[in-house]
Amino acid sequence: MWSATVFTLYPDMFPGPLGTSLAGDALTRGLWGLEPRNIRDHGQGRHRAVDDTPAGGGPGMVIRADVLANSLDAGLQPDDQRPRLLMSPRGRPLTQSRVRELAAGPGVALVCGRFEGVDERVIEARGLEEVSIGDYILSGGEMAALVLLDACVRLLPGVMGKEASGQDESFENGLLEYPHYTRPRDFEGRDIPAILLSGDHAKIAAWRRAQAEALTRHRRPDLLPAKR
């Protein structure tokens, strides 16, 4: 079973929104597994401290290397094959192709940072790969982990209906998706494009392709192959 172990200071945030809808049904049906682990269980002293002031000074607090390492060592078997990802704005941005790769594997071990982040030495010593969900700063890695998990889980076998295999979606073919329409045929004087009602599947496919290309050129030219 595809499984996620999540290291966090806020285990109550899981499954959170992933307990409802598609991902929640799949969790109940045993199509994937989720184990949140509280980093604080390995905190220091009576107060189970997990963080300390940054070496060299500066604002904020940093999660201690020893505390996080102990939490990881207690939560992961030495032969665990799952990628160990640290949610981090410094990481390589998450893409749909990486999501496909992760969904095709055995699962993930996710580490959620808090405060200013985690001591660099635990990243090195435990081989954590930093992954970002975008160029903005969250208050913690939990939301980022939920985003990554949602993107992976919907691709697991049996989670989506077969008509919604996801092959046609934005990014799957290097393009944004074409526009969708459904009933009513006339909405406040706006008609569904006639070609979509023509029944000519080849023409419809060509129209959708052209729409997807135009949309991508306009909104996300960075997705198109570089012209040379």
128 vs 119: CA distance, rounded Å: 12
Minimum distance of ligand SAH from residue 226's CB (angstroms)? 26
**Which DSSP state fits 49?**
B
Bridge partners of 207, per DSSP, are none
113 binds ligand SAH (CB under 6 A): yes
Q: How many residues bind ligand SAH (CB under 6 A)?
A: 18
20 vs 15: CA distance, rounded Å: 9
| Residue showing tokens 């959620």 | 112
Please say which residue, 117 or 178, places its beta carbon nearer to ligand SAH. Answer: 117
Total Cβ atoms within 10 A of residue 93: 11
120 vs 199: CA distance, rounded Å: 59
50 binds ligand SAH (CB under 6 A): no
Minimum distance of ligand SAH from residue 77's CB (angstroms)? 24
138 binds ligand SAH (CB under 6 A): yes
Minimum distance of ligand SAH from residue 60's CB (angstroms)? 7
Q: Contact, 117 vs 64, CB < 8 A?
A: no
* Contacting ligand SAH within 117-136 (CB under 6 A): 117, 132-134, 136
155 vs 133: CA distance, rounded Å: 18
Minimum distance of ligand SAH from residue 62's CB (angstroms)? 9
Please say which residue, 99 or 175, places its beta carbon nearer to ligand SAH. Answer: 99
Here's the x/- map for ligand SAH, 67-96, by CB under 6 A: it reads as --------------------xxxx------
| Burial state string for 123-132 with b = 16 or more CB within 10 A and e = fewer than 16 | beebebebbb
Interface positions with ligand SAH (CB under 6 A): 87-90, 112-114, 116-117, 132-134, 136-138, 140-141, 144
